[in-house]
Structure 1
Amino acid sequence: MPIGSFVNALPPAFFILVHLVAFIIGAYFAYRAFGAQVRALGWAFTLYAVAELIYMSYHLNWTVILFAHTLAEVLDLVAFILIFASAVQRVAVARRAQATS
């Protein structure tokens, strides 16, 4: 028996709820980031939210797991890269400002 097979006993509605909550959190963070004019983070959280919708597509029987998982992982990876780039950019700007002061 594979590790974690107990998860198969949970109803599909549980997984939809988990991904729906994650989508709402990602959409809220994207909204706040765009509102704060931090576009890279806004796009990162937007991609995360879209990835959660794609995960939900599997639980709604619209796609197969490998397709949904692969697309969602690619979006999550690009989102992670954007978050890293945004953080590095903010640190670099702060260091430049500190060096010129």
Structure 2
Amino acid sequence: MANKIKCNDKIIIISGKYKGKRGKVLKILSKKKVIIKNINIFKKHQKPIAHMNKLGSIIKKEFPIDISNISILNKYTNKIDRVSFIIKNNKKIRLYKSNKKYIK
């Protein structure tokens, strides 16, 4: 599987609890998991550590989403799109499949 989705890509979630929400890819964990900004946020309760003088707190953290549940957002049409590739000057370039325009 080629790298169709990369960091800082604008995406839309196509299935699951957050269907229809839009976001930006912060990090790609593996070929199957991505972290999206302000999506799938969970609260983690941090216990206080007495010997280090740290207080307990609640930390909000983004959890990963499966890459099959997201699709890239075409900035020209503002709709979901697929990604295709071409090789130009020995470089692999990503294109939107619907209108053949370059992705960044």
Task: Bin the TM-score by the shorter chain.
Answer: under 0.3
Q: Which has the higher helix share?
A: 1
Bigger RCO (CA 8 Å, 6+ sep): 1
TM-score (norm. length: structure 2): 0.24
